Amino acid sequence: MSRRLRRGVMLAIVVGLVIAPSAAAHHSFAAFDLATQKSVTGTVKQFDWTNPHTWIWVNVPNKAGAVETWGFEAMSPNYLGRRGWTKKTLQPGDQITVTFRPLKDGSHGGMFVSAKRPDGTVLTMFAEPTDP
């Protein structure tokens, strides 16, 4: 093996060791209470079809009648697209009930699990939308 090739291999190994912890941290679920599942009903405010994760923003009325915006993190557009989703799957004004894993700090939002439309259609991250 040439000296230049050995240096290239060593550099690649070092770069890999430096990058690996930050890549693993990015995919951490530490912020979510994975042992709990909750649901809220509201109106889609915005659907961000963005990398590395999509976001669903829902206006949810609270007990006092005021509206609070909740944010739900979902999988990437590529992942969801392979399961039948498009950037138009959720539109502002859509009524949905979101099932999610809540944030441990109690903030309004969490990790998206599924959404149910008034007609009974269920949207999940793991399969195409299902009819009732």
Q: Which two tokens stand for residue 57?
A: 């923003």
Cα 15 to chain centroid, rounded: 28
* Long-range contact set of residues 39-43: C-beta below 8 Å, sequence gap at least 24: 39/97, 39/98, 39/99, 39/100, 40/70, 40/97, 40/98, 40/100, 41/95, 41/96, 41/97, 41/98, 42/67, 42/70, 42/95, 42/96, 42/98, 43/92, 43/93, 43/94, 43/95, 43/96
pLDDT score for 22: 41
- Report pTM: 0.76
pLDDT score for 21: 45
Q: Which residues of the chain have pLDDT under 70?
A: 1-2, 4-27, 127-132
Query: In the beta sheet, which residues pair with residue 123?
Result: 115
pLDDT score for 126: 77
pLDDT score for 24: 41
pLDDT score for 10: 54
